[in-house]
Amino acid sequence: MEYNVTDIELTEVADAIRERGSTSELLTWNSEYISAILAIPSPSGSITLSQNGAYDVSAFASAIVSVPSPSGSISFTQNGTYDVSSYASAIVSVPQPSGSISILTNGTHDVSAFANAIVSISSPSGSISISTNGTHDVSAFASAIVSVPIASGSISISQN
């Protein structure tokens, strides 16, 4: 079998040999190409990799990977964000709200420890009669009947 190879193709091959062989020497065909190829070091030996990451292993024949696996357990009793990268399992025992709380007044109430809130605020009902000017507590009533007497009759003014 015969091959036709151009000067450009031989130059490309020589450039690849020089790059791989870490040399800049000119190569002449045939014997120098063969010698340069044979001088390129073959990967040999082993490298041990004990952490995740990217490694240049081009000079080694094998890589022994020994990255520690997560092991053991960690427990949590509160909500939050935790680093679990070194553990194989997480035991979560966050107490959940339970029971009920009765709320009888308006306002802000801490209900974090309860599962239920029973709101029982009295609704205003009935009527109140108001017959004097002033400020009156009407919070317990649905309506207010205001009947403040208005002065009536006549007034006489005499001059001395």
pLDDT band for position 28 (50/70/90)? confident
Domain that holds residue 113: 99-146
pLDDT(31) > 80: no
Tell whether 76 and 119 lie within a shared domain: no
Per-residue burial over 1-12, b = 16 or more CB atoms within 10 Å of its CB, e = otherwise: eeeeeeeeeeee
pLDDT(140) > 80: yes
Please, are residues 129 and 145 in contact by the beta-carbon 8 Å criterion? Answer: yes
pLDDT digits (tens, 9 = 90+) for 89-136: 999 999 888 999 999 988 999 998 899 999 988 888 899 999 999 999
Q: What is the number of domains present in the chain?
A: 3
Any domain includes 43:
yes
pLDDT band for position 157 (50/70/90)? confident
The model's pTM is 0.36
More confident residue, 160 or 42: 42
Any domain includes 152:
no
Going 114 to 119 to 120 to 121, the CA torsion angle's sign is: positive
pLDDT band for position 59 (50/70/90)? confident
More confident residue, 77 or 157: 77
Proportion of the chain above pLDDT 90, given as a percent? 41
Tell whether 11 and 60 lie within a shared domain: yes
Any domain includes 156:
no
Question: What average pLDDT does the chain have?
Answer: 86
pLDDT band for position 11 (50/70/90)? confident
Residue count of the chain, please give it.
Answer: 160
Any domain includes 109:
yes
pLDDT(74) > 90: yes
Tell whether 86 and 114 lie within a shared domain: no
Mean pLDDT of 57-67: 90
Any domain includes 154:
no
pLDDT band for position 160 (50/70/90)? low
Phi/psi at 26 (5° precision)? -75, 145
